[in-house]
Structure 1
Amino acid sequence: MPEQSTVKNDQATAKGENLNSNAKTNNADNQVLTLLDFESSSLPDVVVVENGLAKPIHKTQNQAGVTSGNQALSIQFLAKENYKSSISFKPKTPWDWSELGDFSLAMDISNPLDESTHIFGQVFDKKGQTHTRSVVIPKRSSNTYYIELKGHDLTLETGIRSNPPSWQSDDQQFIWRWGTKQLDVSAISAVKLSVTSLLNDKPLIIDNLRLIKNPPVDGNYLANLVDEFGQSTRTDFKQKIDSLAELNQVSQQELASLDGQLMPDRSKFGGWKTGPKLQATGFFRTEKIGDTWTLVDPEGYLFFSHGIANVRMANTSTMTGVDFKRGIVARAADDVTPEDSKGLNGVSVEAQQSAYVSSALRRDMFSWLPSYDDPLARHYGYRREVHSGALDKGETYSFYQANLQRKYGDNFIEQWRDVTVDRMINWGFTSFGNWIDPMFYHLDRFAYFANGWIIGDFKKVSSGADYWSPLPDPFDPVFRERAAATVAVIADEVKQNPWCIGIFIDNEKSWGMTGSHEGRYGVVIHTLGRSSQDSPTKAVFSQLMKDKYGDIRQLSEAWQQPITSWQAFDAGIATQDFTPAQLQDFALLLETYAAEYFKIVKQEVKKKLPNHLYMGARFADWGMTPEIVSAAAKHVDVMSYNFYKEGLHAKHWQFLKDVDMPSIIGEFHVGATDTGLLNPGLVHAQSQQDRANMYSDYMNTVIPNDYFVGAHWFQYTDSPLTGRAYDGENYNVGFVSVTDTPYQEIVEATKSIMRDIYPNKYGHLVAK
């Protein structure tokens, strides 16, 4: 594109007229307004590259990547030294697309590699709002990809994390991730394509960045999505079940292959029987040998925990669009388990007699649901509360559980339990991960982790970004009472069983995130604005500052804020323009807060379960700051991190050396859409074989790391196609499908990894 046209693009992207003299139209119904066609001999001024390389390429250099004119843009995302790599298109003045009607941002992307590339696409407006999506670019491919920015689908709350495309097209839609669905399209400040945690450099070729009018919406795009087995009605795939006879045939073939026999080098508890033997304590523990951390099994053998999290029925149901006018019993005040961590929570016949359709949109998604007198009606349930979705309460149905009954009969739970353990052992796993149904605890066949939540009517604090829920106030005495109640239930379930490796309490709390002072110290900033009378944590913060400064004038000077008295400080202050001294104090206050949380939980765990490891609260990669990590390290036995990326990037994990604690990956996964699921999950692959390859790549970054003593895949089953009841997650992340059929590609990849896991992980210790 000529430089003059680029400037015009910045200033007059306006109101729907052509953006330059080369504006193009795909066809009569789908007008195209070109933003960038990369015909200039140099990079346009709007292009900004971070940790990457970009240059125009001529079609004689790469014919496949040039889809318009003679040139395209080649971008090389770099992995070696950079956790993130991106290319942005930033106009000098915001783009105004407010008069275009319903439209999408489209681009042509080619991938010259023999492996897929998962990229994020983000659009930013001048208000600071972000619209984030992602997509996989298959190997050796060239296609058109689009991000809907204004249109019908963006106005709907369907209860599905990512909806099907709302019109038929050969073009590929970026899949919704997070942010603001309806941006201020009159002031678009940037478009960004990025990757994170690459394991090797990835090139892409981008051409013809443009705006297109949305085709007419298919009025039935959300209807009749699910068949009687819970599968997609719109996609055929290798393992799709078409009849009850086929379901049973596939099941019998698999059962004949399961012998439940440990791999030859495994100890009774799954440790390395042919490796070094350390002191046996009768319970799992940790030890550092040289520079390498390891778990040690009850018999003294080195142990690496690899397995699957969330093996239970709690998250297998989806909202049906039905509710009841009466007969719903309220939750007990002393309940220690959130509703999404329970089973189906069925309702009475009386309640079912008052059923009504509360959402026709949801109800019409199903081609079949059983009548209440059908034998498969036992898999209906109820949710009195949800995190997000089209409904805030209502009836649910578990197709997964219904398929188990179809396979195994009315007493399906016991056979499902035993088959599940046989699978874990035959596939080579050494333990379960978090969130395992207690029915597995006392089989004495397979190691596991117990889990619990601390919920109740204690006071809360906020980080300003409380994704799952507000944070607890650990200085409120009620918090300790509720922690003790939770641990008492866990202890009664575990009963000092030696097969229990450790205890996870809570999960992915919104402690704060790096990137800004407001994000990192949100807990402190929001708590300082509260009264010491109302907030126990604020009272502790006030006392710490009084002890440090004595005279309020010294604090006021250090923070460069006009705080006139300690009474004013106690009443609540606003903070801004942070000074170095203030940030130092914020770090102290944040670590003090978090340390109290982890200290109390550990004390309660060790009172009741002294022989088991306290595994922490599993940090989300978006919810851990240095202060929080430091606080946890003082109290947990094993640090736990949920990390949804393609692998462990060495630069990002350098802090492990300073923390020097045994660590575990609590969750990771990879998914695809080739089996009809509408959303691959948090990391995208192009197919089942590709996700198996990416699983292996991830594990091969964990195994050599001296600090990691395990990694857990999330989860056992795919999410429901129409979204799990709690929050709409509809991911292809299971080792088994909704019909309880294993994905053989990833099973074989697991067997391959696990046959040699111990020599590959700890073989160097033998050499020493």
Structure 2
Amino acid sequence: MTTDAFAGKHVVKFDSKKEMSGAKIALRDINPSIPRDWTGYNYVVVEFRVSTSQRFFLGFTTSHGYDEVRVHSYVPGAWNRLAIPIIYYSQPPASAIDMAATYNKPRYTGWINLGGNIGPMTGVDSIGARMRAPIGDQRIEIRDVALSVDDPGDAYLGRCPAVDEFGQSNLVKWPGKVKSLKQLRRKWRAEEAEPVSVGEMYGYSKYGGYLAHRYDQGTGYFRTARVDGRWWFVDPEGYLFLSVGVDCVYTLGGGDVRDVEKRAGMLGTLPPARYLGKGRNGNTTARYALWNRERRFGEDAEEKAAELAFKRMDKWGVNTIGNWSDSKLERMGRKAITCTFYPAGADSRLMGLGDVYGERFQERLRESLLRTIAPHRDNPWLIGYFMGNEPSWVGQEQRLCQMILDGEERGIKTALCQWISTHGDNKEQRRAFVYDCFRRYIEAVKAAQLELDPHHLCLGYRFASVYDVNETLLGICGKVFDVLSFNCYALSPDHSMLDRVLRQSGLPMMVGEFHFGSVDHGQGQSLWQVNSQAQRGVAYRYYVENGFAHPGLIGTAYFTWYDQDVLGRFDGENYNCGCIDVTDVPYPEQTQAMMESARVLYAVHAGQAKPYARKPERARGHDHGPDMW
């Protein structure tokens, strides 16, 4: 559907020439009877269609200001009804274990990301829609806004199915899109015929280190070393090693449609019954990716798909299977791996902070770690363990302490009250208490790890944004961790930031997640957007090579192996962030860039070659950007 079809009365145009584009519409012009005071209502129900899957901001002007959320539509170009809980506009997110669980909220025709302005929903007089750096000129048309006490549910109002028989978006066209099984099988055969010679391409050792650059005879396990002012991993045989990884490596992906019963009219051809499963809530999940895998490989599909996964890693220069990957692939002993202790005592009620004052804390912590460590204690392919992922309390220490004080009676509340009694109650002391809890927690985890597994590295906590981690916190980490890890969704890790982290922690660094995506396949554009698939490749090279040019960065992991589900994973995300799409076809622009970077990373990190200098065109992050009103 072209944007010319958006010719109704209440259309907002998003101008691709502008950094931020949008407009407001008076609610009385859409629904003259809608109240201005939303007290007592729980949902605002918006009926709309938007011409793109690119995220947009949807907000309301109130008597105190302007409140908004970010919306990602699963159904570009199609009419739909989205019921948004009003609490998302009026209150901070509830406490959760990590950042994604805190801010991502799944629905059925789209998903919602929190983090915008909030306030009382009184004196509401207009609705606003805005978009940052629109990829092409786009439109949103709104034909109704209503309020509800109960959840009326979302509804797909489009004329054709939103998902085709292969699990692709049925609402968007793109060059090379799979339209038949015959066409898809040609693509599969072409990939299977491609030769691979990893030794000639990258010069990797058995464990993925650099054969031409041996540090020593090895210890049988991974470790770190500083050589001529530059940090490296050293592989079990003693070769210098940089971790070039991808997260969520599986033999299929991106093809689950959860809660089929809630998505009337959205699916055309359902997979055969054997590919329909039950989710945790008892609703049906349609597994298109599993169907595609069986259509590709037939009998022994999982074994054949595993071989293909390793062939792809060999070809693309990937030497590390990153976090949240298939345990069967990890256990095959063909690539370096990382593991996570998550949650290992971390408490969702404490925004992911470890409850060191909890009942049986030490005993429960040890039991939790043992479940992860037992299969890997003597595994030479394991680089090390992460302690957790994106704790949401960082930068929210005041709120966390207030939540503890307002909450149930428990050990950590007693400890906080004693801390306040001794040190006083102010911003600095509340932060100091949280930091003390964190220190106690990571020291306990590290001690238990060393007792249960003295061989492997402690890879840190994968902070959501190391910019929010101050000198005090970095100093605490530096005394416990072997590697300082963080997720870094950016154009590339900023060298001044890396300098600070290295100086204040004294540790080599590892990026746990980064990615780039676009909207041309009808999915969300990821946390960092680029204009096209070709620009995804440019962005990958720029990020990885400029990151590894820093002497302290020794690992990156791209998120993820496959695209996310087109109608949203468990928390709603439906990003075009994969190396491979739902039809099990790699993105050539992305994978070619991975190969080109892998060939030069040793020289770049050693300071012998310059990193890739071309920046992607008009790449933008997921921050709120400049204000419009």
Q: Cα–Cα, structure 1 residues 638 and 87, in superposed 2: closer, same or farther, change >3 Å?
A: farther
Equivalences for residues 434-513 of structure 1 within 5 A: 434-454=323-343, 460=347, 462=349, 466=351, 471-513=353-395
What letter is aligned with 2:551? D
Q: Cα–Cα, structure 1 residues 283 and 188, in superposed 2: closer, same or farther, change >3 Å?
A: farther
Matching of residue 226 in structure 1 with residue 163 in structure 2: yes
> Take 2:10 and 2:455, find their aligned partners in 1: how far apart are those partners?
67
Secondary structure in structure 1 of the residue aligned to 2:30: coil
CA RMSD across the alignment: 4.3
Contact 1:258/1:423 (8 A) holds in 2: no
Q: Cα–Cα, structure 1 residues 512 and 313, in superposed 2: closer, same or farther, change >3 Å?
A: farther
Contact 1:130/1:179 (8 A) holds in 2: no
How far the C-alpha of 1:744 sits from its partner, in A, is 0.5
Contact 1:309/1:712 (8 A) holds in 2: yes
| Corresponding residue to 1:616 among 460, 468, 480 | 460
Equivalences for residues 598-617 of structure 1 within 5 A: 598-617=442-461
What letter is aligned with 2:157? N
RCO greater where, 1 or 2, for CA within 8 Å and sep 6 or more?
Answer: 2
How far the C-alpha of 1:602 sits from its partner, in A, is 1.6
List per-residue Cα deviations over 1:248-290 (Å, max 9, x = no partner). 3221211121435333422221112223524621111112234
> Take 1:712 and 1:598, find their aligned partners in 2: how far apart are those partners?
23
Matching of residue 368 in structure 1 with residue 269 in structure 2: yes
> Take 1:497 and 1:396, find their aligned partners in 2: how far apart are those partners?
35
Q: Which residue of 1 aligns with 2:142?
A: 214
| Corresponding residue to 2:582 among 738, 748, 754 | 738
Secondary structure in structure 1 of the residue aligned to 2:218: coil
List per-residue Cα deviations over 1:621-669 (Å, max 9, x = no partner). 2995435544333322212111222222345555312222111110111
Contact 2:486/2:511 (8 A) holds in 1: yes
How far the C-alpha of 1:611 sits from its partner, in A, is 0.8
How far the C-alpha of 1:402 sits from its partner, in A, is 1.7
What letter is aligned with 1:521? Q
List per-residue Cα deviations over 1:281-322 (Å, max 9, x = no partner). 111111223442221111222211111101137975634435
> Take 2:122 and 2:453, find their aligned partners in 1: how far apart are those partners?
56
Equivalences for residues 104-253 of structure 1 within 5 A: 123=59, 125-126=61-62, 130-133=67-70, 153-155=81-83, 163=109, 177-179=113-115, 184=121, 186=123, 214=142, 220-221=157-158, 224-253=161-190
Equivalences for residues 216-615 of structure 1 within 5 A: 220-221=157-158, 224-259=161-196, 261-262=198-199, 263-275=201-213, 277-278=215-216, 280-312=218-250, 316=254, 318-321=256-259, 359=261, 361-372=262-273, 377=274, 379-384=275-280, 393-454=282-343, 460=347, 462=349, 466=351, 471-513=353-395, 519-530=396-407, 534-545=409-420, 548=422, 555=424, 559=425, 582-615=426-459
- Point out where structure 2 has 5 or more consecutive residues left out of the alignment: 33-45, 49-53, 86-103, 146-154, 610-629
What letter is aligned with 2:26? W
**Rg: which structure is higher?**
1
Q: Cα–Cα, structure 1 residues 496 and 653, in superposed 2: closer, same or farther, change >3 Å?
A: same
Matching of residue 30 in structure 1 with residue 17 in structure 2: no
Using structure 2 for the length normalisation, give the TM-score: 0.75
Contact 1:436/1:449 (8 A) holds in 2: no
Q: Cα–Cα, structure 1 residues 395 and 159, in superposed 2: closer, same or farther, change >3 Å?
A: farther
Contact 1:508/1:619 (8 A) holds in 2: yes
List per-residue Cα deviations over 1:222-249 (Å, max 9, x = no partner). 8611111111222333342233333332
Secondary structure in structure 1 of the residue aligned to 2:321: coil
| Corresponding residue to 1:642 among 465, 487, 491 | 487
Secondary structure in structure 2 of the residue aligned to 1:486: helix
Contact 1:102/1:213 (8 A) holds in 2: no
> Take 2:279 and 2:483, find their aligned partners in 1: how far apart are those partners?
34
> Take 2:135 and 2:559, find their aligned partners in 1: how far apart are those partners?
33
Matching of residue 664 in structure 1 with residue 510 in structure 2: yes
How far the C-alpha of 1:746 sits from its partner, in A, is 0.5
> Take 2:591 and 2:420, find their aligned partners in 1: how far apart are those partners?
55
Secondary structure in structure 1 of the residue aligned to 2:374: helix
> Take 1:498 and 1:488, find their aligned partners in 2: how far apart are those partners?
18
How far the C-alpha of 1:717 sits from its partner, in A, is 0.6
> Take 1:27 and 1:294, find their aligned partners in 2: how far apart are those partners?
55
List per-residue Cα deviations over 1:397-450 (Å, max 9, x = no partner). 321122111111131111111111111111112212111222123433211112
> Take 2:143 and 2:240, find their aligned partners in 1: how far apart are those partners?
59
Secondary structure in structure 2 of the residue aligned to 1:232: coil
> Take 2:164 and 2:264, find their aligned partners in 1: how far apart are those partners?
13
Q: Cα–Cα, structure 1 residues 663 and 438, in superposed 2: closer, same or farther, change >3 Å?
A: same
> Take 2:348 and 2:552, find their aligned partners in 1: how far apart are those partners?
32
Contact 2:166/2:582 (8 A) holds in 1: yes
How far the C-alpha of 1:715 sits from its partner, in A, is 0.7
How far the C-alpha of 1:176 sits from its partner, in A, is 5.9
Q: Cα–Cα, structure 1 residues 162 and 490, in superposed 2: closer, same or farther, change >3 Å?
A: same
Q: Alignment identity in percent?
A: 26
Contact 1:154/1:181 (8 A) holds in 2: no
Q: Cα–Cα, structure 1 residues 545 and 666, in superposed 2: closer, same or farther, change >3 Å?
A: same
> Take 2:605 and 2:124, find their aligned partners in 1: how far apart are those partners?
52
Q: Cα–Cα, structure 1 residues 699 and 205, in superposed 2: closer, same or farther, change >3 Å?
A: closer
List per-residue Cα deviations over 1:514-548 (Å, max 9, x = no partner). xxxxx3433233224456xx3222333344455x5
List per-residue Cα deviations over 1:463-504 (Å, max 9, x = no partner). 5xx4xxx54412224343333223222223224111111122
Secondary structure in structure 2 of the residue aligned to 1:257: coil
> Take 1:649 and 1:484, find their aligned partners in 2: how far apart are those partners?
37
Contact 1:319/1:362 (8 A) holds in 2: no
What letter is aligned with 2:114? W
| Corresponding residue to 1:655 among 500, 503, 508 | 500
Q: Cα–Cα, structure 1 residues 642 and 27, in superposed 2: closer, same or farther, change >3 Å?
A: closer
Q: Cα–Cα, structure 1 residues 261 and 706, in superposed 2: closer, same or farther, change >3 Å?
A: closer
Q: Which residue of 2 aligns with 1:80?
A: none
What letter is aligned with 1:287? A
How far the C-alpha of 1:216 sits from its partner, in A, is 8.3
Contact 1:459/1:476 (8 A) holds in 2: no
Q: When the two structures are aligned, how many residues end up with a matched partner?
A: 550
What letter is aligned with 1:30? K
Secondary structure in structure 2 of the residue aligned to 1:493: coil
Matching of residue 699 in structure 1 with residue 544 in structure 2: yes
Secondary structure in structure 2 of the residue aligned to 1:496: coil
Q: Which residue of 1 aligns with 2:43?
A: none
> Take 2:253 and 2:581, find their aligned partners in 1: how far apart are those partners?
14
Contact 2:80/2:156 (8 A) holds in 1: no
Q: Cα–Cα, structure 1 residues 648 and 185, in superposed 2: closer, same or farther, change >3 Å?
A: farther
Deviates more, 1:273-282 or 1:427-436: 273-282
> Take 2:255 and 2:6, find their aligned partners in 1: how far apart are those partners?
43
What letter is aligned with 2:452? K
Q: Cα–Cα, structure 1 residues 87 and 33, in superposed 2: closer, same or farther, change >3 Å?
A: closer
Contact 1:671/1:685 (8 A) holds in 2: yes
Using structure 1 for the length normalisation, give the TM-score: 0.63
> Take 2:536 and 2:6, find their aligned partners in 1: how far apart are those partners?
36
